[in-house]
Amino acid sequence: MFKGILIEKDDSGYRAGLRELDEINLSAGNVLVRVHYSTLNYKDALAITGKGAVVRHFPMVPGIDLVGAVEESSHAEYRIGDVVVLNGWGVGETHWGGLAEMARLNGDWLVPLAATITAFQAMAIGTAGFTAMLCVLALERNGVTPDRGEVLVTGANGGVGGVAIALLSKLGYRVVAVTGRPAESDYLKYLGAAEVLDRGSFSSPGKPLGKERWAGAVDVVGSHVLANVCAATKYGGTVAACGLAGGMEFPATVAPFILRGVTLAGIDSVRCPRDRRLEVWRRLGRDLDLDKLNTMTRKIDLAETLDYANRLLLGTLRGRTVVAVSR
């Protein structure tokens, strides 16, 4: 038996709570992992509260991220004691996830923990930081270099935004942050933002084309924010879109794409192939300022996860939340 957060849905309704679970009920897989840390992401908060259609099968253990030690393995690449990391692959949605002390997983979904990153740091990074690095790689692949001009980061107080700012600033970019919480400007400037803009100027319908300003952008908001970012992106620039916190719709025109050659790069962390995952973790170990990562990270216990899920959706948290799963 072990502890975990369990989401249930039946005639009594939708509910989540800390439960005693039996290993026999774990999802199928060829690697059994004792989970040391998990995280609380936006998707996890939606799943736990039932405010988003995230969970596909019930009952479900949420948690799209985890790091832990292998306890059993029939997978050729992993042995007992290996420390492994998982992000995505439908874990916490269709397959029991990381917010429990044990997880049985498909070994093909796992990657070894990088030698330059601790288990705690791996979850301080989590899917949010992993996604931020994917966005940076997309900008680089499309030729967005520091000498091309400013890079915009929306949703700057969230996990993806905060890590993106820290990464881009360390790589030499001039970063402009967009936030709905201007009181956090000093924090964002500490992470590396050269300038902080209020989200209000991006949230309303705008013109098909605006004044060219951004060489590139990382957007986690979607909707009008993404449309306005694209409209103000320079000729040949790239916008990496990885979130929909402001809505799934995209109320834009094709003008930025056919008149300025702007690239809209979609970023998916869930089914990202293994070779790119290894590249992402290698780059994170090299390019992320771990002191800044510590500043944007809090640690909570498994029992606190339900409360923090509601706080995350209310927008009262900033940065990253790591869940200490096993003691």
DSSP for 264-290, please give it: EEE--SSS--HHHHHHHHHHHHHHS-H
In degrees, to the nearest 5, what angle opens at C-alpha 191 toward C-alphas 185 and 196? 35
Residue 29 Rama label (left phi>0; alpha psi -120 to 50; beta): left
Amino acid at 47: A
Cα–Cα distance, 175 to 181 (Å, whole number): 17
Structure token pair of residue 239: 């916008």
Q: Is 295 exposed, middle or buried (0-12, 13-18, 19+ CB in 10 A)?
A: middle
Cα–Cα distance, 77 to 73 (Å, whole number): 9
Distance of CA 88 to the CA centre of its chain: 10
pLDDT tens digit at each of 327 positions of the chain: 999 999 999 998 999 999 999 999 999 999 999 999 999 999 999 999 999 889 999 999 999 999 999 999 999 999 999 999 999 999 999 999 999 999 999 999 999 999 899 999 999 999 999 999 999 999 999 999 999 999 999 999 989 999 999 999 999 999 999 999 999 999 999 999 999 999 999 999 999 999 999 999 999 999 999 999 999 999 999 999 999 989 999 999 999 999 999 999 999 999 999 999 999 999 999 999 999 999 999 999 999 999 999 999 988 888 899 999 986
Q: Quote helix, strand, coil % in the chain, to nearest 5.
A: 35, 30, 35
Locate the DSSP E strands across the chain.
Answer: 2-10, 13-21, 31-39, 65-73, 83-87, 102-105, 111-112, 151-153, 175-179, 193-198, 214-219, 233-241, 263-266, 297-301, 320-324
Domains and CATH numbers, the chain: 2-113+296-324 (3.90.180.10), 127-266 (3.40.50.720)
Distance of CA 115 to the CA centre of its chain: 21
Structure token pair of residue 133: 């690095």
